[in-house]
Each structure stands twice: as C-alpha cells, then as structure tokens.
Chain A
Amino acid sequence: MRALKKTSDFIASYKLSCILFLLLMVLTYLGTMNQVQEGLYQSQQKYFESLFLVHWAFGVVPIPLPGGYLVMIVTFINLTWGAILRAWRGLSHLGILIAHIGVLVLFAGSFVTYMYSTDGHMALYEQQTSNEFESSYEWEIGVRDVVAQGAATEYVIPQDDFVKLTGAKSRIFRFSALPFDLTIHGYAPNAVLRAAAQGETAVDGRVLEVRPLDREWEQNMAGAYATLTAKQGDVKLEKVLWTGTDTPAIAAIDGKQYRLELRKRRWQLPFSIRLDKFVRKLHPGTNTPSEFTSDVTKTEEGLSQQVKITMNEPLRHRGYTFYQSSWGPPNAGPNDRLYSVFAVVKNPTDQVPLYSCIITTAGLILHFLQKLIGYLRKERAKRS
C-alpha cells in the first residue's frame, strides 16, 4: 500500500514534472538543431513523433532518449494525476487549477488532432476543378483496371504496409477481385529511375537507384518494385514504380490491363473546388509578395458558391479547411500560367487550441494577479 502511495505521489509530483520539462527541452533543442542537417520532416519523426530514439552526440556517442510522444504522454499523466490529487486547494489556487485545465484541454485536443486529422494539399491551375487532395508526405500504391474508367474500384495499399520493404524485404498483397497477387519489394523513400547498366538486374531496362534522403522531405521521390503473379497460369510480371514520373506502370494479365501507381496519398472530398482566378500581388518594385488570393467556386450536389481564399482567411466547409498556402511554378515569369496551392486540413479539434488559450490565460492572469496584489500589500505593510 505504501509503495502504491509512493508511486502515486511520484506520478503526480513536481519532481517528475521538472524531469519531463527538462527532457522535453532536450528533445526540442536537439530536434531543432537536427533540422539543419536532416530537415524538418525527418527531425520531427525522430525526436517528436517517436517513443524512443538514439541521439548521436557529435555523430559518435550514442545517447538513448525517450521520444517526444512518450514524454508528452507521461506529462499528460503527471498533469492529470497531479490535478486530481491537488485539485482543490482553496480560492487562492483557483487560477492555477483553471490554467492546468486549459493545458489539459490543449493536450486532449492535440491528441484528437494527431489521431483523427488529415492534412494535405490541392494544387489547381485556373479553371481546373478537383474533388481530391493529396498528402504532402505520405505515399500509397494504387492498383486498378485501366479500361473500366471511373467505375472501377481502386485497390489502395497504404504506406504503413510497404514502408519497411526496403532492400530484399518483400510482402505479398492479395485482392480477391484481382486476378493476380502483388508482391512489393525494394522500396526506397528516395530514388531515381535510370537506365540499367550492363549486368544489372533490370525491369524493362531500368533500375531504381537509391538516394540518400533529402533534407526537404517534399523533394524525395519514392520508388519500389512490384511483382504481379497471376492466380491462374504461370504468368509473372515485374514492374517498377516511381513517383518521379507521370506515367503509371501498366501490366497486362488475363487480357486486361492494370494500372499500378506509387503516388502521394489521396483523399476524396464530398464536394469539388474550381479555381476561377489566382492573383499574386507583389510590393511595387520588389519580389516580396504582398498578397495571394484565389477566387474559387465550391460545388456540392449541383449547388455552386463563389468564395475568396486568401492568406489568413481560409475557406471552411464540412469540416474541411482550405488555406492559401503557396503557388507555382516557383520559377514562373511574369506572363506564365500559375497554379495555386491550398493546404487542405480536416481537423475535428481545429479550434481547441483557441479555447485552451483562453482558459489558460484566464487562469494565469487570475493567479498572478492574486499573487501580485498579495506582494504589493506585503511591501506596503513593510514600509508603513
């Protein structure tokens, strides 16, 4: 029983809070500095979105560390348990209680965001319409019948299922409706497709050459090999998939053509967006942008509505939010046709940080005001 109480006290203790704050500081610092070498995405994966990690100090000394997730989960427990044990300590601590509730709300909201939000982008030229958006980081493999346009079902393999299939590792994917089994192997998160040299094992005369990961994750071009084994007969086809090309791999089996595509993960929207006009304004005589604005038409079940999306003024609809995020091509001249890029986010707890901020602020102001008034009184009493 005493051991239990001791454990409970430790879980709720300030000591544990301090350890966690310091650990999170170390992770934040390392994760920031690491961005110089490895870029944002990889640093984020390694230091913040992980349970454990090994940091190589000066590139030679391995230091095992708990990852950002683990530390944040334990912080959440520490905070919650501490709040329960010390919840009511009178009016003088009301502000502190409120502030901590605000932080708990932020944690809860962030957890929901992490679990249930999707985010990606949609790039449109003027007059172009789309009802899907794609991820900026995640890949997927899509397989479908080429001929049956539109109506055909597409079979999708999510990234988690093939991301570990590097080198000689492979995995067989079976779809009951397809006349073949699909084996994915030789996955590389960054690769180039080149003509094979003499003696190399090639697919259609080409090989994937594995490249080191780019600092900018968006620059990476994933690639993988796919082996299609017919369920009947002994047809076996080898295909190479690469995200750097616009032409998907086509395989013919049983007299039908199938399309295989390694691409950024896609999501369908319950409505469509057409870009009517994109305006990019510069500060006069400079290359500093002063404004990006997209006039779009949103169409849902035959009903159209015109909306303006600009920096800091997103379009919100049916849980999706469209932000003016970028434009291209990056090297466009003054008369070139431009496309507009929207960040598309579906986040059920989008506004939670705002509520949390209000609650925390109110709590802290209340608490510190109480403290300040007490301090002022004491000082005055001392002088008089």
Chain B
Amino acid sequence: MIGSVALGVFLLTGLAADTSTAPPAWDRQTVALFRTLPVQEAGRVKPLDTYASFKLLKFRGRRSCPGLSGKSLSPMEWLMDCLFRPESAKQYNMFRVDNAEVIVAIGVPAKKKRDYYSYNELLPGRAKLLELGHLYMRKEDKDRSVVESELLNLAMNLREFEEITAFPDFVRHPLPLGDSATLSALFPGKTECRLSELLGKAPQIFSAYLELQHNAAGKEQEQQLLAKFLKGLERMAGDSTALALFPPAAGAESDEWMSPGSMVERAFSGEPLPSNQVELLGSFEELVAAAGEPVAFQQRAAAFHGVVAGLAAARGEYRNVPLEVAFYRLQFFYYALTLYVLSFLLLACSWMRPRSSWLYGSTWVSIFVPTLLLTIGIILRCIIRERPPVTTLYETILFVTAVAVAVALFMEWVNRQGVALAIASILGVVGMFLANKYEAREGADTMVSMVAVLNTNFWLATHVTTITIGYAAGLLSGGLAHIFVIGKLLGLRRQDPEFYRGLSRMVYGGLCFALLFSIVGTVLGGIWANESWGRFWGWDPKENGALLIVLWQLAILHARLGGIVRDFGVNLAAVFGGVVVAFSWFGVNMLGVGLHSYGFANGAYTALISFYAFELLIVLLGGIAWFRERTETA
C-alpha cells in the first residue's frame, strides 16, 4: 500500500528533477511568518517552526541542513523548500544513516560508515527499502537487530519526507474533471478546478453521487465517471494529510484541525464542512501557486498567516506560539551544554593553579550562567505548556540536572573546597549532553499531550517534582562520592584528612536531602495513585524503583548511625546509590511492564548497562582501596 501510493507521488513529482541550480534564499520576513504559523500535531497546536525542527532532527539528527548553495538552512527554510521547492529539497543530504550496512542492504552505493544521504540518492533503493521496512515493522522492538531498526527508521523517515513534499501536490497537480456531466454542470467550461472550489460544491457532488447509486438506470456511464473522479480525489486527498493547518472556528464542537485530506474525507462522507475552512483552503492554494514569485508569495503568506493565527487566537490556541518559537530559537539547552563544557575547561585550569581566586571566581560564573539558562528554559517550557516543570522523561533530565547543579553550587558556597564546583560542572555537562542526545534520538516534539491520569497539575507539581529532586540529590551524592573513592584509590591528598571529612559531610548532607525528597515523593506518588486508582501501593515497577532508592538511602543512614559503616563505607554506598537511582529513573521503564513504561527509550539500554558496569567497577576498586587503607592503619 505504502509502496503504491508513494510510487504515485514519485511519478508525479520525482521525474522532473532540476539539479543544476540552487534556489534563492527565502526572504527573511516570509520565513518569520511561516515560523509562527500555527499547526496542530499530536493533539497540540504548535508553531510550524517546532514541527519543522523536530522533523529535521528526526531525519538528520540535528536542527540544520546544508542547502544546495552550501549554506546551512534553518529547519523552517528546509521545510519551506520541502513544501514549495520539493525538487531542491530532494537533493539535500538530510537522511542520516549511522550504519552503512543499511545502505548496502538496499542496493545503493554507500558513502562513509556514518553519513548523510539525499532523497534522490536513496531513490534507486526505495522499493527495496520499503519492502524490508515492512518486513521489520512486523517484528517486535526487541527482536530487531541494530541494522534492522535503523533501516526501519530510514524507511519511515523517507515516507514521512514524501508525505511532506507531496502535501501541496493537490495545488500543483489539480485533478482533471473528466467527462462527468454532473461536474460539467457544476463547473461549466472547466476541465479542472481547485480543491477549494470542489469542496465548495461537495454537498451537490455528494448528493448527485448518492442519487446515482440508488438509481443509476440509464446513467451507468455517468455513475462510473463520477465514481472514478471521486476515487481519484480520494487518492489525491490521501497524499495531503501531513499538516493539519486549518483550524475549526471558535466554539466549534470538534477541536480537530483539518488537513486538505481530512476535509475531503469529511465533505464526502456527508458531513458539512465549515465555509471558513474552505475559504482558508483557497487562500492556501493561492499561496502555493505563488511559490515562484517572492513578492506575491510573501503577501499571500501574510494573508494566510493572518487568518489562521486569528482563528487560533480566537480559540485560545495561539497565545504561546510566538513564545515557543522564541524558546526554540534561543536554544537555551544547547548553549547551556556549551557553557558547561567551557566551565569544565576553566575548572581544569583552576586545578592547575589552585590559588588563583580569579580562576575560582570565573569557574563559579561559568557554571552559574548555564544553570541560569537551563532554569530559564525550564520556566519557559512551563509557561508554554501551562504545566509544572516535569511531565515527561525528557523533562526529568532537564530538571534533575538543574536541581543537582543548584544543590552542588549551594554546597560549594558553604564548603568552598572546589569539589562541589567540579561535580556541578561535570553533572551539568553530562545532564545537558543526555538531554540533547535524548531529544535527538527521539526526534519528536518533547511537549507532548498528556494521558488522562496526568491531567492534574497538582500531583504533577508535587509528586513528580519531589521525586525528581530526590533523584537529583541521590545522583549528586553519588557524584561527590566518586571524588572521595577515586581520591583514596589514587592516594591523592593523603596528608589532608580534613578534605575527605569535608567531602563526606557533603555526601552525607546530599543523602539526607535525597532521602527527604525520595520518601516524601514516593509516599505522595502513593497518595496520587490512591486518588486516581484507589490503591496506595501496587508494586508497579516505577513504585518499586522509588522504594529501592528510599530503602538504600535508609540503609546507608542507619548503617552510619549504627557505626556499621564510616566515611569510606558511606561514600562507596553513595556511589552504588547512583546505580539504584539510574535503575529507578530509566531502568524500570525498559522492562516494558507496568504503568510507567512511558519512556521506553530505545537503544539507551546499552548506555545504561555500561553505566551500571562502570559504577560497580568503581565500587569494587573503592572496596579494594578501603581494604588497603584498613590494613595500613592496622
């Protein structure tokens, strides 16, 4: 099915490729208009810019794409090329392939092991790609090999790209009216007409069709002609579903925005189509038709934008669109990562010159600034979504990083040994790297629609926030404990027991802080579950994960109280605590069972196992160092 539809698209648009010249750059104002054009996707109204940037991220793994002139295109410019200059877009190296085996498998000449391919380069292997993609799709996630998963991804990306480029085809290639007498009567003197005109007369066409169905005596030929036309229309409409650009009127019963495809489906299933949507479709057709004339195109884009944004605003759906565009344009989290890396370099310099207060101060600032960026980013997300800070796995990464770094900065402010500062910087780098990686890997909007049970800001704000602060503090103590363990292991600062005592106090403080939030967060989760499902505790994997954190932290603190472990033991245990937190945070989601398997992070499995292994190795080596120290003192 997919193959045949796509083949049609290919025949319509794929043959007349003009590869010689790079198209002129889009006018900046026009691009700005498209950026803030609202569109409904995955249950949410968002700027077209967000749509474009996540699609490009999904295809290419990054938010930019080199154009034909060699200049880098922004996601919006890229999407505009896909929609309005598909022949150019098909030449962009936009499909990232991490494994050349995928390319070999579909019989296309491979470039480097990891490389980018254009649509036209993949075209000779398209049939094979879709065939294999179909085959692998039927397999369960866990049964697919890495190459198979990547091939399936590529096949889906390719199809999605085809759907995007084919979206305005109904304007570029209007459907011939044929010889139907019904259509000739409705559109006198025309051989083809625009979709908006057709939809304007849909009730008449539909009733004529129904009538012919009931009583075709003597009109068999007309019935066939009309049926054939409608079939063609249905096929054409099926290619124009990628963007739900047309909002319903304010106060309409349905909240669903329409695409040309869904409009046709609705009009020809006998449901009335609001006239404003048909007009809007007409305005979009004029926009597409003017794609080659920059001035007219900008005017029509402005007119179309004005109407759509106005309708969305009347429905209360436009309010945060400009803010969201600004949020993504400012790339808070990308800059935060860059600055954290910079802070780490500064930190390394300050280790070499430990007495330089100037360097120490700069390191402080260099960590404070990205943390501020991260915090502003999180706050903006809250405003845009009208939600508390943490609702998805992605947002936990942002929030955990921010909290861990903030607490570490507080510890540094108190303790001023430079250790907490080092951990703040490292956690900042790791956290932001993970967040950016996760976003690129998922390649989908991170501001998703919430399932019904999460439809409560109160519990999201209390339980989820508290438990994630618990994760952050647990990881922070684990991070600090690494310095203790590694320091002891390498025999650093042997003459400075106060250093290790201070460090242990911080680890202990972090554990107390973590325990408070883990216990409260876990119990609050139970209370929420009791409010929603009527049971406080159900041994769900995520609940158990939280319980494991609580139990481990309780065990450490009680062991310390009872003199069973001392500083060294507490630190070793805190390192292992990081493993427990990681298991609860990500590990249980990978089991694929339970109520919280929302963030089934594919491929992250290996990374997680490596983390466990690394941490266990640290604990083991630390154990050896502890034994050595004990025998030395004895």
A interface residues, Cβ below 8 angstroms from B: 13-15, 17-18, 21-22, 24-25, 28-29, 31-33, 35-36, 39-40, 43-44, 48, 106, 110, 113, 119, 282-286, 288-292, 311-312, 314, 321, 323, 325, 343-345, 347, 350, 353-354, 356-357, 360-361, 364-365, 368, 371-372, 375-376, 379, 383
The answer on a CB contact under 8 Å between A371 and B512 is: yes
For window 222-270 of B, CB contacts with A under 8 Å fall at 244, 254-257
**Which residues of B have CB within 8 Å of A291?**
452, 455
The answer on a CB contact under 8 Å between B520 and A35 is: no
Chain A residue at minimum C-beta to C-beta distance from B244: A285
User: Which of A17, A345, A360, A371 has the most B CB atoms < 10 Å from its CB?
Assistant: A17
Shortest distance from the beta carbon of A345 to any chain B beta carbon, whole Å? 4
**Which residues of B have CB within 8 Å of A283?**
42-44, 449
Q: A284-B43, A312-B531 are in contact. Are A15 and B548 (CB under 8 A)?
A: no
Complex-state Cα separation, A379 to B416, whole angstroms: 10
Chain A residue at minimum C-beta to C-beta distance from B526: A353
B interface residues, Cβ below 8 angstroms from A: 40-44, 244, 254-257, 414-416, 449-453, 455-456, 459, 505, 509, 512-513, 515-516, 519-520, 523-524, 526-528, 530-541, 544-545, 547-548, 551-552, 554-555, 558-559, 561-564, 588, 591-594
Complex-state Cα separation, A354 to B463, whole angstroms: 12
The answer on a CB contact under 8 Å between B43 and A21 is: no
**Which residues of A have CB within 8 Å of B562?**
13-15, 17-18
The answer on a CB contact under 8 Å between B594 and A375 is: no
The answer on a CB contact under 8 Å between A14 and B42 is: no
The answer on a CB contact under 8 Å between A357 and B523 is: yes
15 A-B pairs in the complex with CB atoms less than 8 angstroms apart: A18-B559, A18-B562, A25-B552, A33-B591, A36-B593, A39-B593, A40-B593, A40-B594, A284-B256, A288-B449, A289-B452, A314-B534, A323-B534, A354-B527, A364-B520
**Which residues of A have CB within 8 Å of B512?**
368, 371
Complex-state Cα separation, A284 to B254, whole angstroms: 8
Shortest distance from the beta carbon of A31 to any chain B beta carbon, whole Å? 6
User: Which of A32, A286, A292 has the most B CB atoms < 10 Å from its CB?
Assistant: A32
Shortest distance from the beta carbon of A214 to any chain B beta carbon, whole Å? 13
**Which residues of B have CB within 8 Å of A286?**
42-43, 449
The answer on a CB contact under 8 Å between A312 and B558 is: no
**Which residues of A have CB within 8 Å of B520?**
357, 360-361, 364
**Which residues of A have CB within 8 Å of B453?**
311-312
**Which residues of B have CB within 8 Å of A36?**
591-593
The answer on a CB contact under 8 Å between B547 and A28 is: yes
The answer on a CB contact under 8 Å between A25 and B534 is: no
Complex-state Cα separation, A354 to B513, whole angstroms: 21
**Which residues of B have CB within 8 Å of A345?**
534-535
Shortest distance from the beta carbon of B421 to any chain A beta carbon, whole Å? 15
Q: Which residue of the partner chain, among B40, B455, B528, contacts A285 with CB atoms under 8 Å?
A: B40
The answer on a CB contact under 8 Å between A35 and B593 is: yes
Complex-state Cα separation, A113 to B535, whole angstroms: 10
Complex-state Cα separation, A36 to B541, whole angstroms: 10
Shortest distance from the beta carbon of B243 to any chain A beta carbon, whole Å? 11
**Which residues of A have CB within 8 Å of B558?**
14, 17-18, 21
**Which residues of B have CB within 8 Å of A285?**
40-43, 244, 256-257
Chain A residue at minimum C-beta to C-beta distance from B546: A28
Chain B residue at minimum C-beta to C-beta distance from A344: B534
Q: Which residue of the partner chain, among A14, A18, A35, A344, contacts B594 with CB atoms under 8 Å?
A: A35
Chain A residue at minimum C-beta to C-beta distance from B456: A312
**Which residues of B have CB within 8 Å of A18?**
555, 558-559, 562, 564
Q: Which residue of the partner chain, among A14, A28, A372, contacts B544 with CB atoms under 8 Å?
A: A28
List the 8 closest A-B pairs by CB distance, nearest first: A283-B43, A14-B562, A345-B534, A21-B555, A283-B449, A284-B256, A357-B523, A286-B43
The answer on a CB contact under 8 Å between A290 and B523 is: no
**Which residues of A have CB within 8 Å of B254?**
284
The answer on a CB contact under 8 Å between A350 and B530 is: yes
Q: Which residue of the partner chain, among A22, A113, A354, A364, contacts B555 with CB atoms under 8 Å?
A: A22
Shortest distance from the beta carbon of A213 to any chain B beta carbon, whole Å? 15
**Which residues of B have CB within 8 Å of A325?**
533-534
Complex-state Cα separation, A36 to B532, whole angstroms: 24
Complex-state Cα separation, A311 to B554, whole angstroms: 34
**Which residues of B have CB within 8 Å of A33?**
591
Complex-state Cα separation, A247 to B40, whole angstroms: 49
**Which residues of A have CB within 8 Å of B592?**
36
Complex-state Cα separation, A285 to B246, whole angstroms: 13
**Which residues of B have CB within 8 Å of A39?**
593
Q: A35-B593, A284-B255 are in contact. Are A21 and B554 (CB under 8 A)?
A: yes
The answer on a CB contact under 8 Å between B257 and A284 is: yes
Complex-state Cα separation, A39 to B594, whole angstroms: 9
Chain B residue at minimum C-beta to C-beta distance from A285: B256
**Which residues of B have CB within 8 Å of A106?**
523
Q: A18-B558, A360-B519 are in contact. Are A110 and B531 (CB under 8 A)?
A: no
Complex-state Cα separation, A25 to B505, whole angstroms: 25
Known: A40-B539, A290-B451, A354-B527. 4 other contacts (CB 8 A): A18-B562, A21-B554, A283-B43, A345-B535
Complex-state Cα separation, A290 to B43, whole angstroms: 9
User: Which of B43, B530, B538, B540 has the most A CB atoms < 10 Å from its CB?
Assistant: B530
Complex-state Cα separation, A36 to B555, whole angstroms: 27
Q: Which residue of the partner chain, among A32, A312, A323, contacts B455 with CB atoms under 8 Å?
A: A312
**Which residues of A have CB within 8 Å of B559?**
14, 18
The answer on a CB contact under 8 Å between A375 and B459 is: no
The answer on a CB contact under 8 Å between A311 and B519 is: no
Q: A40-B594, A113-B536 are in contact. Are A292 and B452 (CB under 8 A)?
A: yes
Q: Which residue of the partner chain, among A28, A321, A360, A372, contacts B551 with CB atoms under 8 Å?
A: A28
Complex-state Cα separation, A286 to B445, whole angstroms: 14
**Which residues of A have CB within 8 Å of B593?**
35-36, 39-40
**Which residues of B have CB within 8 Å of A383?**
416
Complex-state Cα separation, A36 to B515, whole angstroms: 28
The answer on a CB contact under 8 Å between A35 and B523 is: no
Q: Which residue of the partner chain, among B455, B519, B534, B541, contacts A35 with CB atoms under 8 Å?
A: B541
Q: A32-B588, A106-B523 are in contact. Are A290 and B536 (CB under 8 A)?
A: no
Chain A residue at minimum C-beta to C-beta distance from B555: A21
Shortest distance from the beta carbon of A133 to any chain B beta carbon, whole Å? 11
**Which residues of B have CB within 8 Å of A289?**
451-452
Chain B residue at minimum C-beta to C-beta distance from A320: B534
**Which residues of A have CB within 8 Å of B257?**
284-285
Q: Which residue of the partner chain, among B40, B41, B515, B540, contacts A364 with CB atoms under 8 Å?
A: B515
User: Which of B42, B537, B539 has the most A CB atoms < 10 Å from its CB?
Assistant: B539
Chain B residue at minimum C-beta to C-beta distance from A120: B534
User: Which of B257, B538, B551 has the most A CB atoms < 10 Å from its CB?
Assistant: B551
Complex-state Cα separation, A286 to B44, whole angstroms: 10
Complex-state Cα separation, A289 to B455, whole angstroms: 10
**Which residues of A have CB within 8 Å of B515?**
364
The answer on a CB contact under 8 Å between A375 and B533 is: no
Complex-state Cα separation, A314 to B42, whole angstroms: 28
The answer on a CB contact under 8 Å between B534 and A40 is: no
The answer on a CB contact under 8 Å between B455 and A365 is: no
Q: A288-B43, A364-B516 are in contact. Are A353 and B449 (CB under 8 A)?
A: no
Q: Which residue of the partner chain, among B456, B539, B552, B563, contacts A48 with CB atoms under 8 Å?
A: B539
